[in-house]
A and B are shown apart, each in its own frame.
Chain A
Amino acid sequence: MGGFLLVTIQVDMHDRLALTLQDDLTSMVVRHRARGVLIDISALEMVDSFIGRMLGTIASMATLLDAITVVVGMQPSVAITLVELGLPLKGIRTALDVEKGMAALQTALAENEDGGDEAHQQ
């Protein structure tokens, strides 16, 4: 309870599969009361507007459920292409690899806790 979920995307997903992952992941956050979600996309050779939108939706749903999402391992060629495509990936935290993503999650959660305590004290 209160742990992290680690999801590794290993195949070139078609659109329906991506939506299924989005829904499954959201229910998993609820079921496991996860505080953080790490999505490893290092195996993805392409992120288009659909996959980008899916990542954004997962991040916003997780936020509503009080969890933080970090997308890790985006290949440089994918990042370059996303910028030219014009996809903002706003509100999505990224990290270079799973280890750094885990560290980012821990830091972000610690900050949230601090913020929460302060709010409580006021």
Chain B
Amino acid sequence: MKLISSESVPVRTPEDIVAVRQAVRRKAVKLGFGLVDQTKVVTASSELARNTLDYGGGGIVQLEIVESERSKSGLRLIFEDRGPGIPDIDLALSDGYTTGAGMGLGLGGAKRLSHEFEIWSKPGEGTRVSILRWK
């Protein structure tokens, strides 16, 4: 996989979540994603950016345009924070599990809305979630 371009957007305020959605939309449009695919990746980014802000205490999103060996293009989004981390990732991924006021849908939903999903988290160190959607 080849990295074509990379841009980072901070996630510090609720307004930043909107900025992330808009930046992701722009990239998806630029890559020629159809409307449904655009909506899926934008929605996933909104869920993950909110987790970064609400649970991670803020962080950063990396927006990357990548290309596969077969010249397929894709949009990879990496959300990173130095918050408290997630003690039990499987539990956090299960629908309906929340330690906040949410519905516990964000992580599982973002995974379903993506082609590839990776999560790394360590209590006391932070959380990193990466999603990828191919064109």
Contact = CB atoms under 8 A, between A and B. Distances in A.
Q: Tell whether A and B belong to one assembly.
A: yes
A45 B18 contact: no
A48 B112 contact: no
Interface string A44-86: 0111111011000000000000000000000111101100111
Interface in A30-51: 45-50
A86 B17 CA distance: 20
B39 A77 contact: yes
Interface of chain A, helix or strand or loop or mixed? helix
A49 B102 contact: yes
A87 interface: yes
A67 B27 CA distance: 41
| Interface range on chain B (Cβ under 8 Å from partner) | 20 to 34
21 contacts: A14-B13, A14-B15, A14-B18, A15-B17, A15-B50, A45-B42, A46-B43, A46-B46, A48-B43, A48-B46, A49-B102, A49-B109, A52-B103, A77-B36, A77-B39, A78-B39, A84-B40, A84-B113, A85-B113, A86-B105, A86-B112
Given A46-B43, A53-B103, 11 more contacts: A45-B42, A46-B42, A47-B43, A48-B50, A50-B46, A78-B39, A84-B113, A86-B95, A86-B105, A87-B103, A87-B105
